[in-house]
Amino acid sequence: MRKLAIGLLCATLITGPVAASDEPYNAKVTVVFDHALPNVPGKSMRGVLVEYGPGGHNPSHTHPKSAFIYATVIEGSIKSQINDGPVKVYKTGENWIEVPGDHHRVSANASDSDPAKILAVFVLDTTATEMVLPAK
């Protein structure tokens, strides 16, 4: 029984950090605007402010299948990886896009000492309720 308990403890210690990385850390996501597009029935534009504290990050994720996203860094620097592309660091004023079906593998503050913010503008189906979907 003691060997089993020690084995379970070791397994927990080994997998603990992996499980922790699947949770947002020091990150706040706020929808700042949501407006139906009058000339494109069934589509809306939503603005999402993502605020990262020092060392903050969000887990690997995707977005609704209808979502086209334009993201711009408005403060600090952001580390980002889309699909199997390279991990890039974007500084204030720089931007990137995500097309429907993209996998956002890395989404993090590039600094352990300064905050960072992005504004992500989504064009997506008006009926979409979940903006961020856990990666599978």
Question: Strand 95-98 and strand 43-58: pairing?
Answer: unpaired
pLDDT of residue 102: 95
18: in domain? no
Nearby residues of 21 by Cβ (< 8 Å), 6 or more positions away: 57, 59
* pLDDT number for residue 14: 36
pLDDT of residue 31: 95
Higher pLDDT, 109 or 134: 109
Q: What does the pLDDT look like over 53-79, one tens digit per residue? A: 999 999 999 999 999 999 999 999 999
Check whether 95 has a pLDDT greater than 70: yes
CATH code assigned at 103: 2.60.120.10
The single-letter code of the amino acid at 58 is N
Structurally, how many domains does the chain consist of? 1
Q: Would residue 4 count as lying in a domain? A: no
In a domain, 59, yes or no: yes
Residue 110 included in any domain: yes
Residue 64 located in a structural domain: yes
Is residue 78 a part of any domain in this protein? Answer: yes
Q: 83 in a domain, yes or no?
A: yes
pLDDT of residue 22: 67
The pLDDT tens digits of the residues spanning 119-132 come to: 999 999 999 988 78
Please check whether residue 98 lies inside any domain of the structure.
Answer: yes
Mean pLDDT of the chain: 86
Count of C-beta atoms within a 10 Å radius of residue 19: 9
- Parent domain of 62: 25-42+52-128
